[in-house]
């Protein structure tokens, strides 16, 4: 196959896969396995297996070179199978949740293989595609917060009919299944643009226009996690003389957007509110989740008076309660945990009374996780799965430190730090898009080969000690 044709096919497929992940449309059910719907990215991923057949020799070589990654992924999935089997909760539920882990592992590993097929900056093309996708979704978010019908269409299509309102304004989510995921992706998009500016000499006008747009979209998501994911990595870049000026300007743009666009009644306060049944839709709380309305009705479905009662919950305290519940689950099942995806199911037995009362609706709808990636894995996979996950993270960290060092902080450090920070106040294991994005970027920067043309310094060997 000619190199030009191969390059076109690979890059076209990468774009198709990213788009399928970004929309993540749920298709038909699989009744035999009690699966409600199969995700579109699964079928796009399976189509991509053709590349493994066409380039089977390259694929076998790649498997030999990256067998350690496969071992870690296999061990983690095996620990999940054991955890699901020993869990006090239904085994089939744990296995279905574990399939999600297997899917994002497989897609990320497969993308790394595609990058290795074409050495002409395919990895850089992937990063640029993420930047372009971030800009596209940011434009979508500007439309949805101003057009109620469009917002409802997106919510019905991608968020199961869940409407989130903050101080009278819809929380932007674009095609993501939650506003927090969208907001964090916008923050990562800014850090990706920062990386591209330094590595590809992007024009300042394009860079600052993109940063301004993504900052606005990040604020419109109403996610404090997103602000956390953006601002702390930018503080790191202030320690590098080469990036200090750009980092200061970007931070100024982000802070200005937060100050101007954050609803005045909330200003990122911790008061959560729900839409009341009043006709004027007066908010008696900060955030509302209401079910999909009946066809033909323009207003959101009104909640019962009991559900609409004000609940003065400080979300920082709520997270502490969630972490405490995770630790109690780990205490009862230290080795294997309660099973993949079973945190929310087990909350009814482990949550404190205030948490059960305040988050009753979310618990019933199976929305809650431990709101911390580490505690979530600890509770669901126990020491066995957590040890494998930490060992895999340490393995990748070795290559990242050898390649980029620790000081001065580079845009790569900021981007990867932003990904890690996003799992401190949340656990995005339920989002196939966010997990593929996160793991693929770590693998790409740890093992870029020649696919990132402008790597900092010489490219060292991929094996420690060589």
pLDDT tens digits, residue range 188-200?
999 999 999 988 8
Residue 200: what pLDDT? 83
Residue 306: what pLDDT? 33
- CA of 94: how far to CAs of 31, 88, 428, 433, in Å? 17, 10, 17, 20
| Nearby residues of 60 by Cβ (< 8 Å), 6 or more positions away | none
Question: pLDDT under 50 in the chain at which residues?
Answer: 264-312, 455-466
Residue 249: what pLDDT? 94
Give the angle 84-87-92 at the CA atoms, nearest 5°. Answer: 45
Residue 166: what pLDDT? 72
Residue 322: what pLDDT? 86
Residue 3: what pLDDT? 64
Residue 293: what pLDDT? 39
| Nearby residues of 93 by Cβ (< 8 Å), 6 or more positions away | 84, 339, 341, 342, 345
425: which DSSP letter? S
| Nearby residues of 18 by Cβ (< 8 Å), 6 or more positions away | 129, 130, 133
Residue 174: what pLDDT? 87
Q: Which residue has the tokens 């964090």?
A: 184
* pLDDT tens-digit series, residues 11-35: 899 999 999 999 877 665 555 555 5
Residue 36: what pLDDT? 66
Domain boundaries, the chain: 3-263+396-446
Residue 452: what pLDDT? 76
What is the reported pTM? 0.82
């Amino acid at each position: 196959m000619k190199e030009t044709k191969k390059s076109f096919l690979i890059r076209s497929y990468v774009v198709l896969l990213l788009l399928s992940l970004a929309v993540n449309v749920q298709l038909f059910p699989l009744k035999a396995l009690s699966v409600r719907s199969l995700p579109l990215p699964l079928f796009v991923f399976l189509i991509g297996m053709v590349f493994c057949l066409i380039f089977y020799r390259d694929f076998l070589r790649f498997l030999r070179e990256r067998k350690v990654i496969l071992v870690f992924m296999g061990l983690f999935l095996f620990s999940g199978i054991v955890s699901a089997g020993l869990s006090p909760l239904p085994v089939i539920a744990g296995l279905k949740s574990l399939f999600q882990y297997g899917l994002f592992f497989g897609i990320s590993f497969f993308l790394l293989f595609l990058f290795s097929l074409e050495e002409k900056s395919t990895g850089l093309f992937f990063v640029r595609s993420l930047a372009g996708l971030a800009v596209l979704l940011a434009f979508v978010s500007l439309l949805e917060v101003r057009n109620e019908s469009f917002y409802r269409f997106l919510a019905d299509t991608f968020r199961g009919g869940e409407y989130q309102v903050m101080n009278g304004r819809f929380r932007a989510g674009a095609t993501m299944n939650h506003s927090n995921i969208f907001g964090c992706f916008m923050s990562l998009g800014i850090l990706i643009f920062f990386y591209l500016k330094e590595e590809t000499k992007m024009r300042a006008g394009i860079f600052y226009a993109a940063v301004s747009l993504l900052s606005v979209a990040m604020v419109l998501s109403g996610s404090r996690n997103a602000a956390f994911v953006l601002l702390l990595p930018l503080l790191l870049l202030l320690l590098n003389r080469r990036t200090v000026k750009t980092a200061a300007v970007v931070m100024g743009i982000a802070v200005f957007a937060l100050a101007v666009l954050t609803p005045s009644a909330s200003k990122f306060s911790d008061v959560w509110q729900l839409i009341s049944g009043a006709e004027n839709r007066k908010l008696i709380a900060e955030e509302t989740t209401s079910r999909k309305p009946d066809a033909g009705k323009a207003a959101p479905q009104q909640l019962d008076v009991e559900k609409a009662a004000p609940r003065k919950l400080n979300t920082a305290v709520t997270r502490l309660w969630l972490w405490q519940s995770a630790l109690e689950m780990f205490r009862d099942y230290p080795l294997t945990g309660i099973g993949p995806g079973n945190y929310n199911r087990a909350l009814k037995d482990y949550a404190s009374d205030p948490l059960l009362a305040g988050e009753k609706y979310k618990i019933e709808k199976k929305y809650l996780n431990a709101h911390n990636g580490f505690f979530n894995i600890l509770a669901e996979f126990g020491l066995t799965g957590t040890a494998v996950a930490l060992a895999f993270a340490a393995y990748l960290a070795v290559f990242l430190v050898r390649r980029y060092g620790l000081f001065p902080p580079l845009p790569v450090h900021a981007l990867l730090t932003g990904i890690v920070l996003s799992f401190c106040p949340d656990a995005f294991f339920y989002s196939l898009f966010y997990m593929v994005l996160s793991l693929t970027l770590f693998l790409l920067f740890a093992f870029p080969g020649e696919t990132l043309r402008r790597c900092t310094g010489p490219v060292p060997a991929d094996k420690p000690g060589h």
